Amino acid sequence: MLSTVLFFGVAAVLIVRSPGWTSVRDTFFDREVFTYAFPKIIRKFATNIYIFIVAEAFVLVFALLLAVLRSLRGPAFTPLRLLATAYVDLFRGIPTILVILLLGFGMPALRLQGVPKGEIFWGIVSLILVYSAYVAEVYRAGIESVHPSQSAAARSLGLGRAKTMRHVVLPQAVRRVTIPVLNDFIGLQKDSALVFVIGIVEGLGQANIISSAKFDFTPFVALAAVYLLITIPQTRLVDWMLARDQRRTMASGVA
């Protein structure tokens, strides 16, 4: 503890006494601008929270459906497997921001009857499409990690293919991939800021407005602080869950 405090104390002194620190402080860490910007960014950040909560709910279901389709066996299911594989390859290969631009600007420009034109709607749809592809692969890894003997035992008890998947394979698979899925959702929360590019005034949009008005980058630091306050506790939760699973695995091995 002493060495840690000493190290960071010396580092802080060196940074504060460095020749360019005054400019850095005034540009990125202006106290007055931070105090002015932080509450405004928090209010607009509610839009980010809404976006990633709605997106997460749909991703959980849609990604699981994709993973199940990719895991179907037999020649009769080949078209479904090909469609699911093409979807995953497509949206894992295109940058998220490009999908948001294509849908956020492109779909309203078509002026099709019955097609929503709201930027928030298309921002959420874009995130769902992209993250469903990533989470589907996580689910599929979980499904394939379940030993075939589990399915064979279920089939020997008279369960059909669908019931075996629903009652035997999926519960084990989902439990095994909880931690990777949580990691993906932390990424989704951060990527909710990308909807700023289609004109949605959320946390990043508000920070950009204040930064342009004040000629200062402190609002972006304030937004970064908001994201850190949300993501760091979740990251520590994931670390705790991972350590707990490792302890259980070691205990099982010893037993």
Distance of alpha carbon 255 from alpha carbon 211, whole angstroms: 59
**% of the chain beyond a pLDDT of 90:** 47
* Pick from 85, 80, 67, 57: nearest CA to 169: 67
Segment 53-69 mean pLDDT: 93
Segment 80-107 mean pLDDT: 93
Residue 8 covered by a domain: no
Residue 196 covered by a domain: yes
pLDDT range class, residue 255, cuts 50, 70, 90: low
Residue 124 covered by a domain: yes
**Residues spanned by the domain of 183:** 30-246
3-state secondary structure of 95: coil
Residue 84 covered by a domain: yes
Tally of structural domains, the chain: 1
Is 63 buried (19+), middle (13-18) or exposed (0-12) by CB count in 10 A?
buried
* Pick from 93, 115, 119: nearest CA to 105: 119
Residue 254 has pLDDT above 60, yes or no: no
Contact 47, 203 (CB under 8 A): yes
Between 252 and 228, residue with greater pLDDT: 228
Which of 129-133, 168-172, 187-191 is the least confident region?
168-172
Vertex 146: Cα angle to 144 and 150 (nearest 5): 130
* Reported pTM: 0.86
pLDDT at 169: 83
Residue 65 covered by a domain: yes
pLDDT at 251: 67
Segment 146-165 mean pLDDT: 80
> Residue 197 has what DSSP assignment?
G
Helix axes 96-110, 119-145, angle to 10 degrees: 130
Residue 14 covered by a domain: no
Residue 18 covered by a domain: no
Segment 5-28 mean pLDDT: 83
Q: How many residues does the chain have?
A: 255
Residue 24 covered by a domain: no
Mean per-residue pLDDT over the chain, rounded: 88
Domain of 178: which CATH number? 1.10.3720.10
pLDDT in tens, 187-246: 999 999 999 999 888 999 999 999 999 889 999 999 999 999 998 888 888 888 888 877
Distances 44 to 99, 138, 168, 180, 244 between C-alpha atoms, Å: 23, 32, 43, 29, 36
